[in-house]
Amino acid sequence: MKHFATITVIGRDKTGVIARVTDFLFEQHANIEALEEQVTRGQFSMTLQASWKTGNCNPDAISTGLAALGQDLGMEIKMRLTDPKRRQRFAILVTKETHCFDALLAAKLNADPVLVIGNYPEFAALAKKHKLPYVHLPWVDRAKSEAEALKVLEEYEVDFIVLARFMKILSPNFVWRHKNKIINIHPSLLPSFPGPQAYRQAYESGVKIAGVTAHFVSMRLDEGPIIAQGAFGIRPGMTLKDIVARGQQAEAKTLVKAVKLYLGKHLDVFWGVVREV
């Protein structure tokens, strides 16, 4: 039997960070299962999966050592013990629209919704109906709201996040902490019509086929690895309102499909492209 942990390292880029962290884990008898790092505009970010054989893992000593190492490096280093066999816990981020939220709660997912975060207080009643805690963050000050969201996500031990038509842009600082663990639904067949007015763009462009895209959120807006897509025909005489209504049906269905693919461990992201395995 093995013990597993996810370790994140974030801070200003400097020489030797990877070596310092991996050397420390080697001293703690850890095996590195996976490691991914990136430098964006001088910001260093790394996510590392480590495992220990039974009897070789001392969580308190490892956490204390990583905290001391982070202080020495001037970086944020966090460790979270994980159990690959337990049911995944997920948070749902919302704004006003309810169709994707309703579909997620109605679907038979092999995971447990444990938290709802939204930028409007009105959504609290629907969350309460499903006996889910609701955290209202106005998202006027993005940095402040993201910091509070990250804190509560950690408190609820969230494994992945679903954006159920959450109409706010997440910063790289937020996204990296949950890389390839934030699933979004976009109302177009990406890469066509990125941005918030996708249905209007499709309507005004006169396209004959429109659709939706479920994708992992990346540092670049609406450019994350695509998980699933759904398409529908635009018939003569359809109004923008008709297209939006048809699109919302596709959004709910495709988002649920993407979450199921993710939970089924059928996805692998290779050089920014999702592959089914």
Catalytic residues: 222
Task: Report in angstroms the alpha-carbon separations of 187 from 96, 147, 176.
Answer: 15, 27, 23
The span from the CA of 123 to the CA of 135, in Å, is: 10
Contact residues for 141 (Cβ-Cβ < 8 A; gap 6+): none
Residue 181 amino acid letter: K
**Alpha helix stretches (DSSP H) within 28-82:** 59-73
CA pair distance 110, 10, nearest whole angstrom:
31
Query: First CA to last CA across the chain, in angstroms?
Result: 25
* 146, two tokens: 């993201």
Per-position b or e across 239-267, b if 16+ CB within 10 A of its CB: eeeebbebbbebbbbbbbbbbbbbbeeeb
Task: Please state whether the peptide bond connecting residue 191 to the residue before it is cis, i.e. omega within 30 degrees of 0.
Answer: yes
